Amino acid sequence: MNDDLVYSSELGDLRKDQSKISKDDCEVDESSLQLLLRRLTSGKGRTVIEIKGLPTNKEWCKGLAKELKKKIGVGGSYKNDFIEIHGENYEQVAKFLELKKIFFKKIGG
């Protein structure tokens, strides 16, 4: 039998690559970010605001998405590498990012 430890109550699953875990725990310097905002519509006219250019820290990105949704009062989600905010709320998203002193750039039409 193999006596390698695969799970610890402190560290969780030890089979995971430890370098990925440490990379996501890094601090995010909000003043050096440059997020990309664009407005997307689907075939039936539904509109979403997509935010790209996010850092690799998933917890920070999830927190930003949660704050945005709560502040604006709409739905949305954080997916692999972007945040999606439902509705025609570009001005409100831009105002929120300005208040947090996060630089952004509008792309697309």
Coil, strand or helix at 42:
coil
Average pLDDT for 95-108: 91
pLDDT at 36: 93
Task: Domain of residue 50: give its range.
Answer: 29-106
| Secondary structure element (H or E) that encloses residue 12, with its range | strand 12-13
Q: What is the mean pLDDT of the chain?
A: 84
On whether residue 5 sits in a domain, the answer given is: no
Instruction: For residue 54, give both structure tokens.
Output: 């996010």
Does residue 18 lie within any of the structural domains? no
pLDDT at 71: 93
Considering the domain boundaries, does residue 57 fall inside one? yes
Residue 89 lies in a domain: yes
Can you read off the two tokens belonging to residue 9? 């109550």
Res. 25: pLDDT tops 70: no
Please report, as a single letter, which amino acid is at residue 20.
K
Q: By the 8 A CB rule, do 35 and 104 touch?
A: yes
The pLDDT of residue 22 is above 70: no
Q: Is residue 55 included in any domain, yes or no?
A: yes
One DSSP character per residue, 46-95 reads -EEEEEE---S-HHHHHHHHHHHHHHHT--EEEETTEEEEESS-HHHHHH
Is there a domain that residue 7 lies in? no
pTM of the model: 0.73
Over residues 75-93, the mean pLDDT reads: 91
| pLDDT confidence of residue 28 | 78
Query: Residue 1 has what pLDDT?
Result: 47
Based on the structure, what is the number of domains in the chain? 1
Domain with residue 65: its CATH number is: 3.30.780.10
Tell whether 42 is covered by a domain: yes
Token code pair at residue 14: 């030890």
Q: Is residue 45 part of a domain?
A: yes
**Range 10-14 average pLDDT:** 76
* Matching residue, tokens 């089979």: 15
